[in-house]
A and B are shown apart, each in its own frame.
Chain A
Amino acid sequence: IHLTQSPAFLSASVGDRVTITCRASQDITGHLAWYQQKLGEAPKLLISAASTLQSGVPTRFSGGGSGAELTLTISTLQPEDFATYYCQQLKNYPYTFGQGTKLEI
């Protein structure tokens, strides 16, 4: 299953609302995870099963969508949110990642 994230780069400001889209080559309803990765660090799981917020992740992060188009929304950007975000499908092996979206100030 191929995943395409858009946009690849996103410039935004503190306080903005942003949405990242992950489009799959087939229906992956519910079988998607979102990760945040900061430079030099391992990825961090933000959302599982398309919309389940992981413990400790701020509620400004939310996942939505269905079928082959899923989204990650950050409602009010904070300075610590500027990072690269990846989606990953867990419907079929291999568990492919999207190519990433770099969120910049």
Chain B
Amino acid sequence: QLQLQESGPRLVKPSETLSLTCSVSGGSISSNSHYWAWSRQPPGRGLEWIGSIFYRGNDYYDPSLKSRATISVDTSKNQFSLNLTSVTAADTAVYFCARLGTGGVDFWGRGTLVTVSS
């Protein structure tokens, strides 16, 4: 059974960079059938799409993040990562990593709450 686990700092200072890693187990990140994605959910609010990446590096982002987000993949570690620069309090959210198929996101990590605060 595929499992995804987010890891990284839970507290980030304003203007700094949020960095999270998603470790994939029970399957290969080098899949020709799937992308790997990040979404987030601010406290008490709805889901927001951040972006996704194919294992060969093709990546796509929500333009509302204004180029602050970068997703990368490390096939040797079966991991992918999210960097979000110049964070503000508005970036406080539960961050989910996930597997994206052609029909939707079929596997999700449990999510990790990242708080932006000084």
Question: Residue B49 contacts which of A41, A49, A97 (CB distance < 8 angstroms)?
Answer: A97
A74 sits at the interface (CB 8 A): no
A94 sits at the interface (CB 8 A): yes
Q: Is the CB of B61 within 8 A of A43?
A: no
> Contacts of B61 on A, CB cut-off 8 Å?
94
Min distance, Cβ B110 to any Cβ of chain A, angstroms: 6
Min distance, Cβ B27 to any Cβ of chain A, angstroms: 16
* A35, B60: Cα distance in complex, Å: 22
Min distance, Cβ B58 to any Cβ of chain A, angstroms: 11
A/B pair count, beta carbons within 8 Å = 64
> Contacts of B100 on A, CB cut-off 8 Å?
95
B48 sits at the interface (CB 8 A): yes
The size bracket of the interface on A is: 20 to 34
Q: Is the CB of B47 within 8 A of A95?
A: no
A88 sits at the interface (CB 8 A): yes
- Taking beta carbons and an 8 Å cutoff, which residues of A are in contact with B? 33, 35, 37, 41-45, 48-49, 52, 54, 86, 88, 90, 93-100
A-B contact pairs, 28 of them (CB 8 A): A35-B47, A35-B105, A42-B108, A43-B96, A43-B105, A45-B103, A45-B105, A45-B106, A48-B101, A48-B102, A48-B103, A48-B104, A49-B102, A49-B103, A52-B103, A86-B47, A88-B49, A90-B103, A93-B60, A94-B49, A94-B60, A94-B62, A95-B49, A95-B52, A96-B62, A97-B47, A97-B49, A99-B46
